[in-house]
Chains A and B, each alone.
Chain A
Amino acid sequence: MTPGTPLPEGSEVRIPVDAKLKEEWRYDPERRLFRSETGKRFSPRESLPKGSRIVYKAPILAEADPDGLSEAERDLRRYIQIILPKGKSAKDFVEEIRDWPCLQEAELGPDVSLPGGVSP
């Protein structure tokens, strides 16, 4: 029995850093910086290699008016991913990212596989 089907070797799928914003912070993808409700700013540029991307996990919710969202949706809209460029490992950056003032938590993204396959 194969307990799981992992990603194929040489897969293009990368492991990101998954992070959750502190409640008062938002990410501005156009200016590529974080802003707090109280006017603070944080630029991640210096701590990330060129070609890194930061995206909301649920972009539809990120753009929505939070007043119209459920509690679960308001929670979900705080999650972001920091995607390192090819050749760079998220492992090498996760510690530094954890120290960003705008983040409540940051972890490596899960090691995802399929829960089965064909058994003998």
Chain B
Amino acid sequence: MAKKRSKSRRANSEKKFPQTTRAGFVGAGITEKSLPDYVVAELKYESPVVFTTSRFTAPAAAAPEAAGLNKTLERFDVAKLRSQFGLKSKEIRARIDVASSLTEAPTSAAVMKKGADSSFFQSGFVQVVPKDGRDAKKIAAALERNSAVYEAYVAPRPVPSVPTGSKRGSRNFEPAQGYLYDPPDGIGAAGVWKTAGAKGEKITVCDIEGNWNRKHEDLPRGIKLLGGTVINDIGWKNHGTAVLGEIVSVSDSKGCVGIAHKASAAVHSAVVGGVFNTAGAINNAASKLKAGDVILIELQATGPNQKYVAMQYWPDIFSAIVAATNKGITVVEAAGNGNENFDLPIFSNTGLQKDSGAIVVGAGIPPANYFDIDNSYNLIGVPRSRIWFSNYGKIVNVQAWGYHVTTLGYGDLQGGSQNRWYTLRFSGTSSASPIVTGAVACLQGRSKVKNGGPLTPARIRQILIRTGTPQVKGPGVPLSQHIGPQPNLLKAIRLV
């Protein structure tokens, strides 16, 4: 990606952390006074400025830039400077060589060519911690006027969940559902909900896997099991519940809110007659759905390289998907978590190199889930680059968050009875594909209102690809490892 950087972070964080989203949901509205505000300043790639705990320094050629920054700091009572990513001083100083070799306003591609790794990108982020948090805004504004600074902003506060008046004391986790928010971070779901039909109205989504907690407090009543027998296992049950939660969590003051929370949900187990019969499940589900509805295949299986691959590798499943899409049913399929390249010769003439009509979904790295701030995001890579485990290749059409998705089930975020379990760590192409499924339901719901009927699956897929926020490369994960763009509903809705 040879694009100039855009200063979207500050605008996004300011939009998100006030506690009301566009859809009017009230998030966690607490202010933790014991957490002082601080400033995050990002140094320009080409500025060979570094910092200690008290001041900025630079080699002679860039000494005026460091001096300018220190002059700014002197105007305020600053407690300390520290690395946003906890880098040691040696790692911070290492940025000097790369930065000194760069021309003005380099693209990220140019920076990578100079040998920059993730440490280099992280080394430019400095936290400026004032003694009085009320100075943070002024410090940010003053720092941003300095030529060495790319941008500076008051750090967004982690947003813990709090009781929001539910009689049963359940909590509201919507602020942690970053995938709902505007691109480039999320898919812009919350931004289109005000458009008639775009909450997935009159669309049914059928999830094919193995078990679900259909009695979860945050799922709509009446989710039908269309066929198959459930797998009696808590892991499988949590998984299905998490998937449904991303798509159809009820919009209220507790728990999560689904991307297409006005859509209807149904489920079908892939186990039929005591064995897996995914093709049969797809075919049976398709027979009970109508054009415009969506089938989600939340399964993977071991391929010829002993790595997980997408289910359309198997020819009967490929045919079942083709048959469903021919009926106008959009099929969304997890690419699988095998770190497998579908373009390898071994997959010639298999479903991994042919178009089944499905939307195949890879897993991308999220920016953060706005809740679980533990620096792990920076360790796994660059947002919207391929996560190491995601399968990739030409048939992988789009990506979505494949890590730390907040949704229902598992109980790591809220425990208690199973019906009140929530997680902020749902991951894999498992977490990515329901995001895309929700996006499809939003677009099809909108199309029914606007056009009087749904779009074809091919058109839906084309819109998602064309309008999506592009994939980004990261260290060790070049763009040739294709997982496609992340849906952008704000743009996509205009093409419906």
Contacts of A114 on B, CB cut-off 8 Å? Answer: 209-210, 235-236, 239, 298-300, 428, 430
CB pair B279 A58 closer than 8 Å = yes
Residues of B bordering A, CB below 8 Å: 209-210, 231-233, 235-236, 238-239, 270-271, 273-280, 283-284, 287, 298-302, 308, 311, 314-316, 319-320, 322-323, 326, 334-339, 387, 389, 402-404, 410, 412, 423, 425-431, 433
Contacts of A83 on B, CB cut-off 8 Å? Answer: 273-275
Closest to B389 in A: A3
Excluding A3-B339, A57-B277, A119-B404, 20 further A-B contacts by CB distance (< 8 Å) are A1-B427, A4-B300, A8-B235, A18-B316, A20-B315, A20-B316, A57-B316, A60-B283, A76-B279, A79-B279, A110-B311, A112-B301, A114-B210, A114-B236, A115-B428, A116-B427, A116-B430, A118-B412, A118-B427, A120-B425
Contacts of A56 on B, CB cut-off 8 Å? Answer: 280
Q: Which of A12, A58, A75, A113 touches B308 (beta carbons < 8 Å)?
A: A113
CB pair B337 A115 closer than 8 Å = yes
A15 to B334, CA, bound (A): 22
CB pair B323 A73 closer than 8 Å = yes
* Contacts A72-B323, A79-B316 given; does A112 touch B270 at CB 8 Å: yes
A94 interface hit (Cβ, 8 Å): no
A55 interface hit (Cβ, 8 Å): yes
Contacts of A59 on B, CB cut-off 8 Å? Answer: 280
A112 to B308, CA, bound (A): 9
Contacts of B284 on A, CB cut-off 8 Å? Answer: 58, 60
CB pair A110 B301 closer than 8 Å = yes
Contacts of A3 on B, CB cut-off 8 Å? Answer: 308, 337-339, 389, 428
Scoring A55, A61, A116 by chain B CB atoms within 10 A of each residue's CB, the highest score goes to A116
Contacts of B299 on A, CB cut-off 8 Å? Answer: 112-115
A81 to B235, CA, bound (A): 27
- Per-residue CB proximity of A93-118 to B under 8 Å, as 1/0? 00000000000000001111111111
Question: How many Å from the CB of A101 to the closest CB on chain B?
Answer: 20
Contacts of A112 on B, CB cut-off 8 Å? Answer: 270, 276, 278, 299-301, 311
18 pairs of residues in contact across A and B, judged by CB atoms under 8 Å: A1-B427, A5-B236, A8-B231, A13-B231, A14-B275, A20-B316, A58-B279, A58-B284, A76-B323, A112-B299, A113-B299, A114-B236, A115-B299, A116-B428, A118-B238, A118-B425, A119-B403, A119-B425
A4 to B303, CA, bound (A): 14
CB pair A5 B239 closer than 8 Å = yes
Closest to A74 in B: B319
* Contacts A58-B283, A76-B320 given; does A115 touch B231 at CB 8 Å: no
Scoring A8, A112, A114 by chain B CB atoms within 10 A of each residue's CB, the highest score goes to A114
A61 to B279, CA, bound (A): 12
Question: How many Å from the CB of B346 to the closest CB on chain A?
Answer: 16
Q: Which of B301, B387, B428 touches A117 (beta carbons < 8 Å)?
A: B428
A38 interface hit (Cβ, 8 Å): no
Question: How many Å from the CB of B376 to the closest CB on chain A?
Answer: 8
A119 to B380, CA, bound (A): 12
Q: Which of A5, A12, A72, A79 touches B326 (beta carbons < 8 Å)?
A: A72
Question: How many Å from the CB of A54 to the closest CB on chain B?
Answer: 11
CB pair B428 A53 closer than 8 Å = no
A7 interface hit (Cβ, 8 Å): yes
A22 to B322, CA, bound (A): 20
A2 to B402, CA, bound (A): 12
A111 to B303, CA, bound (A): 9
Closest to A120 in B: B425
Closest to B287 in A: A60
Closest to B339 in A: A3
Contacts of B298 on A, CB cut-off 8 Å? Answer: 114-115
Contacts of B429 on A, CB cut-off 8 Å? Answer: 115-116
A2 to B423, CA, bound (A): 15
A120 to B338, CA, bound (A): 18
Closest to A82 in B: B275
A70 interface hit (Cβ, 8 Å): yes
Contacts of A18 on B, CB cut-off 8 Å? Answer: 314, 316
A40 to B440, CA, bound (A): 48
A96 to B334, CA, bound (A): 34
A11 to B210, CA, bound (A): 12
Question: How many Å from the CB of A25 to the closest CB on chain B?
Answer: 16
CB pair B231 A4 closer than 8 Å = no
CB pair B316 A117 closer than 8 Å = no
A83 to B273, CA, bound (A): 9
Query: 4 shortest A-B CB distances, which residue pairs?
Result: A116-B428, A116-B430, A110-B301, A72-B322
A32 to B287, CA, bound (A): 26
A115 to B300, CA, bound (A): 6
Q: Which of A7, A58, A109, A111 touches B320 (beta carbons < 8 Å)?
A: A58
Contacts of A75 on B, CB cut-off 8 Å? Answer: 315, 319
CB pair B323 A70 closer than 8 Å = yes
CB pair A14 B274 closer than 8 Å = yes
Contacts of B337 on A, CB cut-off 8 Å? Answer: 3-4, 115-116
A91 to B320, CA, bound (A): 25
